[in-house]
Every structure is written in C-alpha cells, then in structure tokens.
Structure 1
C-alpha cells in the first residue's frame, strides 16, 4: 500500500533521531510539488504543536543549474524555527545533524507584512528593515543526499540551522547584485560566489517567496527572517571545522562545527 502524506511526514520526523532514510519515491513522485508541500506542512504543524516558534522562511534551489539537475523550473522554500538559529561565532554540535553542508547567503529581516500575491520587488525592498550576511547549514534526512525536488521540499527544504551576522546593514546603498562572497573552512576558501547567483538578485528570491507564501495564505510578516538562497556552491563540513562567510558590504559571519562529546 502506498504510504500517505502523514506516513511520510512521520518517517522524516523519525529520521532526525534515527538517521537518514531512503528517498521518498514510494510515496512521492519526484516532481510532486503539492504532495511535497503537504508533507512539509504536516511536519510544520506538528512542530508548532510541540512548541517550536516559526521566525521566517528559507529559499532554496535558487541556482538555475541545481533546478535543472532536479528537473524543476522554480525555487523551493522551507520553514525557519527559532531553535534553528546559532549565534554568530557560536557552535553547532555534531549530534544535531546527519550529513551537513554549509552555504553563504544574504538574509533579510522584514519590518512590514507582505500579504499580496502581486507584491513587487520594490515593495519587498521597502519592507526590508535589515540585511545581514548569513550561513545556512543544510542537512538532508534523505540518505546520501539522493534527493529529488519532492524529497527536499518534503524535508523542509533540506534545512537544519542558520547563523546570522552580527552587523546588520540597511538595504539602501548595498550592491547585492555584484557583491562578492567567500566561504572559508579552517581559513581556506572553499566556495566563491556573488549576489547575482541567487536567482539573479537576492531581492528576486525574496519576491518569489513573498508571492508564493501569499498565494498559500501564509504571508511573510514583520520580523520574519528570510534566507534568500546560496551565493555559491555548498560545502561539506566535518567536526572540528571553523566556517566563515564574508559578503561584500555585509561583513562576515561564522560558526564552529564541534565534534560530539
């Protein structure tokens, strides 16, 4: 019997404790957008019921090459919970993740609600209170990262944790199109990129997200954190690594991936 969305949601929740599971092909076709978001929504509701607090959203699959690899023509999104945030310079414990990777991103903190499905990029820009450099620690509950679009969406956008920089800047005056990005692991540059790599501009990614969530009746709200997507290739991290991302105009942000004790 084909597993239900509830069955798949429970399987993914269990993976956080017991380890990665095989791809979800038995219950989700690789491009089943509606089904994948239905699974994500079931787990979001479960976690909210357990007391976790939603503080924003993340955008994924903002690189055209990655979209092509997964056979889709659009980004995806996942939910950010308050307990996913690691302070700048803080520690990620190895026991909290399965097969983590890090990527550098631009993060927006909003000052206004964005309830319209027709919101313009200019209106999104006007709602941005602060901009910070960020690192997203992505992690898949799917074994060996053998993901399709449906796998990653159902798995909350393959999200795990994130780190926000401690020097917020106003959007005005920033060049988020040509801004360069360097991601270092233990002082060695392992990923390079620029703002244009994020769907052409981080504001494009945030606008797509605002419209998509408004259409779903779950609009972005004042105070929300928006991780707009990777500026360059993600990198595998291992216990003991010190990870630092620097983005032009936004400064740096870092964390240490600590071995389990």
Structure 2
C-alpha cells in the first residue's frame, strides 16, 4: 500500500529545496491515478494551511503531442493558488523553480459556477466572463522531467505559476479555437500555435475539468481562473531570459526570469 502522505512530503520538500527527486512511478510502481490525485490534494491542503488560496485550476495533456509523449489518452488537472499568479511583465524568480518551462495559453475567468457532470463547451462559454493571454510556468519536481501520468498528477500536474495579460470580454472573441499565438524568447521566435490544438477548442478542456472535478465532489467557482492547456511546445527557460507570447485578438503577455530567488507574488 502506498504511503500517500510520505510521497506528498517528498514532493513538498523537493519544491522547497528546489531539488528534484527520482520518478515516483519508479520508486512506487503500484502508484495509481487515485493515489496521485490524493497526493496532489495533500499538498494543496498544506499550502492552504500556510495561508494560500485556490484561485483556479490548470488542465494539462490537452494536445495530441503531449498525450503521445506520456502514452496517455486523457488530460489531467492541477490547482492554481494565489501565490502562483504574477502580473504581466513581472520579473519572475527563476531560482524558485527546479527545471521550468513555459506554455502560452488562453486563460478563462468565470462569472458563474460550473459543476459537472454534463458540462458542455456552450455551458463553459456562457459561464465565462472574460479571457486573457497567459503564460503558464510549468515545473517538475521529478528529476529530468522523467514523468508518467501519475508522476505529473501527484506533482500538481507540474503547475508552478502563471502570468496573465489584459482581460477581453468573452463576447468580443469570435472563436477561441481560431486564436493564434507566437512565442518568443529574448525576441527569437520559438513556436506558434492555435486554440484548436487544445482538445479542438480551449473551452472543451474547461468542460472536461468541470466534469472531472464532479467525480471529486468539487466544482469551478465564480472568479476562478482556468488554464486549459498549451497552444505550442513548452520550451525550457533560464534566468535572464524574457518570454513573450503574442496572441491574435487577445494581445501580448510577457515575463522576465530573474536570477534572484524570492517567494510570493511578483
């Protein structure tokens, strides 16, 4: 039997020490998805006890490429907490992360709750107040990103932070699936993509999240932020680099990764 609390402790310490650990799936070959989500929840509860607040969720593994990489056929989810959110143009402390990568995404902000089962894309769009250009900072507390599905789920779906830009009312965005993005690091074009990469439509990922949370007796609440999944590849970032994503319709969002380590919100 897996000692979930012990595994949660190891991940917690790896994050605090900025020192990744061996893959959980190798150390505990019987670790399953139920264990992994329970371990994730243990560390969310620990952060809440320390004063953090849940402000939303992220959905991962929403592109065909990312699912094929891990050999899975489903997304996963993690929690976003207030101390993970940075403003547009922030100087983000690179030393706070083990091995960070960046993903451009369309961030949703809800005006009304969403509770599954049965949530559809139309339900998501009707409940959404606005969307914003965003950069998700993903990080793995698992050494060398040698992850399987259970590794990343236990590790809060590799969530580490986010930066969002200006909000656009949802009724001013014709079709989120057609929104495009160009990703730059230090002014060099790295990759480009479109909303349709995310399960065919970013709102489909939010619907999946709401329906999946229902199995945990949880729901998405008004004001919650949701990152539905990456629109491009996820390049590594290092101290000193500036990352910018330029979205059609939604505009730009950027962050600089600075060398000094600092906790909390920038």
TM-score range, shorter chain: over 0.9
Could you tell me how far apart the structure 1 residues matched to 2:142 and 2:35 are?
17
What's the TM-score, normalizing by structure 2?
Answer: 0.94
Structure 1 segments of 4 or more deviating over 3 A?
none
Q: More deviation in 236-245 or 113-122?
A: 113-122
Structure 1 unaligned blocks of 5 or more? none
Could you say which residue in structure 2 is the equivalent of 1:76? Answer: 76
* 1:116 shift after superposition: 2.9
Could you say which residue in structure 2 is the equivalent of 1:16? Answer: 15
Structure-2 change in CA distance of 1:9 and 1:250 (3 Å): same
What's the TM-score, normalizing by structure 1?
Answer: 0.95
Could you tell me how far apart the structure 2 residues matched to 1:169 and 1:255 are?
23
Could you say which residue in structure 2 is the equivalent of 1:229? Answer: 229
* 1:39 shift after superposition: 0.7
The secondary structure found in structure 2 opposite 1:35 is: helix
The secondary structure found in structure 2 opposite 1:119 is: coil
* 1:172 shift after superposition: 4.4
Could you say which residue in structure 2 is the equivalent of 1:258? Answer: 258
* 1:66 shift after superposition: 1.6
Could you tell me how far apart the structure 2 residues matched to 1:248 and 1:22 are?
40
Structure-2 change in CA distance of 1:134 and 1:171 (3 Å): farther
Could you say which residue in structure 2 is the equivalent of 1:44? Answer: 44
RMSD, aligned CA: 1.4
Could you tell me how far apart the structure 2 residues matched to 1:60 and 1:206 are?
11
Structure 2 unaligned blocks of 5 or more? 262-266
Contact 2:182 2:247 survives alignment (8 Å):
yes
Query: Size of the alignment, in residue pairs?
Result: 259
Could you tell me how far apart the structure 2 residues matched to 1:126 and 1:50 are?
34
Could you tell me how far apart the structure 2 residues matched to 1:51 and 1:166 are?
27
Could you say which residue in structure 1 is the equivalent of 2:264? Answer: none
The answer to whether 1:27 aligns with 2:12 is no
* 1:65 shift after superposition: 2.0
Could you tell me how far apart the structure 1 residues matched to 2:77 and 2:29 are?
17
The answer to whether 1:7 aligns with 2:6 is yes
